[in-house]
Amino acid sequence: MASSGKALSVVQRAMLWLAATQATSAATQAVDLMFTAGGSSSVYAGVGLERCLRDIRTAAQHIVVVPSNYEMVGQALLGLDVRATPLLAMDDRSDP
């Protein structure tokens, strides 16, 4: 559907944001677990875990995947007006 060039519905966009947010949350948890399991050696650049932790934490700060998206997606799925949220504001193909 997204590759057709047509604007996605609010629910379709909500589901994409939900998937991205959940994937980022799961990746952050996985990296945190590995970093903790690696112990004190995790902080050394040569091990690679330090870079993974920095990368996932940086990516998790993006507006597309912040935890507040869960609330926004819930509002969209409940049929509430989400026209003022980033969910719609970031898509220039949406209908006014």
As a whole number, mean pLDDT of residues 8-19 equals 87
pLDDT per residue as tens digits for the range 33-61: 999 999 999 888 888 899 999 999 999 98
The residue behind tokens 């875990």 is: 49
Average pLDDT, the chain: 84
As a whole number, mean pLDDT of residues 18-46 equals 92
Predicted pLDDT of residue 88: 63
Confidence band of 81 (pLDDT split at 50, 70, 90): confident
Higher local confidence (pLDDT), 73 or 84: 73
Percent of the chain with pLDDT over 70: 88
